Amino acid sequence: MRRDRRFDEACEQAHMLIADDEEDADAWWNLALAQHSLGDLEESLRSLKMLIKLAHGFASGWAQYGVVLAENGQAEHGLKALSRALQLDPRQAVAARQAARICNEQNDVDGEIRYLSKLDAIGEADGNDLLRLGIAYWSKKHFGKAIDSYHRSAAIQKSVAPYFNLALVYSHDEVSQDVDAIDCLERALHINPEHEASTKRLSQIKPRLDKLAQDVLQAGETGLTKEYWYQFYINPFELLDANRDERIEDYDTKRIQRLKRRLLQEIELEDGYLDYADGLMIDKSQAIGICEELNDERLKMYHWFVFTEPYLLGFLTRGEIRHFLCLDDYNPIDLLEELDSEWSGFREWLSKTFCRQYDLLLTRALQNKRVPLVESLFDGRRWILSEHEELCYEGARRQVEELLNPLRQAAERAKNAKPSKSQVNDTLNHSGLISIINLLPEPFRDQQTEAVSLVRDIAITAFNEHSDTDLSKNILTLSRQFSFKNASLTQKLAEDSKQIERIIAQERQHEKKLTLGKDRIEVTKYGVQQGDTFISAGTAATIRWGVMITGTQYRQVYHFLMVCRDNAGNETKFSWQSSRNIEKQQDYFAGLVNAALNYVVPKICEKVQNRLDSGEWVKIGPCSLGKAVLMFEKSVWFTTKQYLIPWNRVETRIDNGVLYVYDRSNPKACAEMKLRDTENAAILQFLAVILKGS
């Protein structure tokens, strides 16, 4: 009766069944559904409560209860009921879909994503579900996930919405794949030529791309010289001098064999030179191998797809660039349909070849500083699998690394020689660095971040090393030339500008600089300086310090000492003695120690940890440090006893300038060393804490 939409009669029949047996769960279920269909929500809820009481583990019952609660204005309770349904049955598609709908109505985007993702994971998401998932990801600026969801939605349902929404994502400033956006809008208009929003968006995007196409083509049709042609792909139909105006069916086995014989004769007569294929040089064995692929119907179709799209063929073989441009005579809708088809396999076949050629073309464009071409290559039509994306940028990343080298060198030089704003500006604009780095997409974020950090480091160095605040600020203003697609990175630049003075102060707050006799002595974030001797914090290998008191109770003499050494044998030695103004002298020394603890000791600790992690043993005083234990020997009567203490039992204490290292469970197992005389004794207490935690 319910299926026949005879809801009143269904209710009457269910009531009769319940009158005979009040615990008939099936009758309560059918009654609740019929009441819901009649719009009697309160009665339906009462019936569902009884159903759940009788069949507490019935997931569909909980799902329906959640649906009716939500319709009755009790969304929060409805969501709890739907969650319970999913706990009972994680594959409850109705519950997941309805929970997502409630979250959408409550503007809970994270919740909507969570439930729609559940629906997708169990394979029950339809085109509309995926569209909603894409919209939710778009609102959170998860662009890659939004693109994936929209594409999958479009593959399921032939609708304008997913293509238009894809265009919005692709044309967003942080994605900036405007050619892909154009293709999506064209596909939307192919479905509905009257779709005004697509037409309007098309008119907004296209002018920039038209101008860019002109700029690119002014420098030539290809980005590769002839020696780089045909490196990764040779099309067998082009090799056979086929006619793309014909049909693939015209090229049966007999005709292909006939064309292959003609090809081999041509190769023999012309010593492998094929004039009709832009001067391709090829030998017989290679030609035979390429033509053999036409015996596989699937591969034959793929090669035909490429052959009949001259711009794609030109890119794959000769590095021609029209494929990446917005041109009135290029609207590859049919090929895009084939690429998006789940059963075709064309994208999977094309992907790696496309990546290799793209990487070569992009790398050469970067080497030749063809900025408009670089911009076009980032604008879209990378017809690859997402898991192959890194292959597109291998050579390009190396090229960007080379572009960054002058800036790295400038940052290094600034530590010793005071830079100027004009020098830094010239470096930034050398070889088009700024123009290129601003165009880079997501896979280059680390290199963009490094470029910003290098300018920032030069600005900080101008203040720290050369005490020129104005220069520091002026250099930092040069970072405004960076204008990245990534909003968070651009925002970070702005925040850096606001906080530079505070950052500079914080980074240098523990530094200590004194004059000792004729020597300038310093402990800074960069290292330890004594006169002309400098040991950087990064190369410091050992450090020791301490105060020794001599003399009598009437006239005490304080001997202050700090020694730092690197592995090359360079050494700084701060030492002085005093019997007057002791508090002031102690403050000076305490400042040096504090600076060493903040800038030098952490670097030494890090190096010791790295040595331990690599399996080395490290000697500090009488102790040998291993990755898992600390070891020392102690004289016992007429022999020596070896103690092995796991790091979780190692304890340390300092008393009168002596460091004691002992076993917490056996305090008699104790080694001692003077901080003043023992290299790195001062860091052992920090290492004990660090290694105990690990």
CB-based burial of residue 95 (10 Å sphere; 0-12 exposed, 13-18 middle, 19+ buried)? Answer: buried
The residue-averaged pLDDT of 606-621 equals 94
Query: What is the DSSP track for 563-594?
Result: EEEETTS-EEEEEEEESSSHHHHHHHHHHHHH
pLDDT band at 694 (very low <50, low <70, confident <90, very high): low
pLDDT tens-digit map of 362-404? 999 999 999 999 999 999 999 999 899 999 999 999 999 999 9
The residue-averaged pLDDT of 245-253 equals 93
User: Cα angle vertex 253, ends 248, 256, to 5°?
Assistant: 75
Asked if pLDDT for residue 488 goes beyond 70, the answer is no
**Assigned token pair, 19:** 């009158």
Q: Which residue has the tokens 């010791």?
A: 608
pLDDT given at position 179: 95
pLDDT tens-digit map of 22-37? 888 898 998 889 989 8
How is the chain split into domains, by residue range? 7-170, 222-383, 396-508, 512-599, 605-693
Asked if pLDDT for residue 493 goes beyond 70, the answer is no
Asked if pLDDT for residue 683 goes beyond 70, the answer is yes
pLDDT tens-digit map of 157-215? 889 999 999 999 999 988 889 999 999 999 999 999 999 999 999 999 999 999 999 99
How many Cα atoms sit within 13 Å of 461 on the Cβ side?
Answer: 20
How many Cα atoms sit within 13 Å of 286 on the Cβ side?
Answer: 14
Asked if pLDDT for residue 505 goes beyond 90, the answer is no
Asked if pLDDT for residue 418 goes beyond 80, the answer is yes
Asked if pLDDT for residue 485 goes beyond 70, the answer is no
pLDDT tens-digit map of 510-524? 999 998 888 889 999
Asked if pLDDT for residue 489 goes beyond 70, the answer is no
Task: Give the mean pLDDT of the chain.
Answer: 90
**Assigned token pair, 652:** 């340390």
**Assigned token pair, 271:** 């010593």
pLDDT given at position 135: 95
Look at 429 and 162; give whichever has higher pLDDT.
162
Reported in sequence order, the residue ranges of 141-194 that DSSP labels E, i.e. its strands, are none
- Looking at the chain, the whole-number percentage of residues with pLDDT higher than 70 is 97
pLDDT given at position 500: 65
Asked if pLDDT for residue 238 goes beyond 70, the answer is yes
The residue-averaged pLDDT of 651-675 equals 92
pLDDT given at position 4: 85
pLDDT band at 464 (very low <50, low <70, confident <90, very high): confident
Asked if pLDDT for residue 470 goes beyond 90, the answer is no
Neighbours of 114 (CB within 10 A): 15
Look at 636 and 119; give whichever has higher pLDDT.
119
pLDDT given at position 526: 83
The residue-averaged pLDDT of 236-255 equals 93
What CATH code is assigned to 605-693? 2.30.29
- Looking at the chain, the whole-number percentage of residues with pLDDT higher than 90 is 66
pTM: 0.67
pLDDT given at position 210: 93
pLDDT band at 501 (very low <50, low <70, confident <90, very high): low
pLDDT given at position 483: 77
Distance from C-alpha of 666 to C-alpha of 145, rounded to nearest angstrom: 58
Domain 7-170, CATH class in plain words: mainly alpha
pLDDT given at position 660: 95
Rg (CA), the chain: 37
pLDDT band at 503 (very low <50, low <70, confident <90, very high): low
Helix (H) or strand (E) holding 524: strand 519-524
**Assigned token pair, 440:** 């880079």
**Assigned token pair, 587:** 């403050």
Asked if pLDDT for residue 486 goes beyond 70, the answer is no
pLDDT given at position 490: 66
pLDDT given at position 499: 67
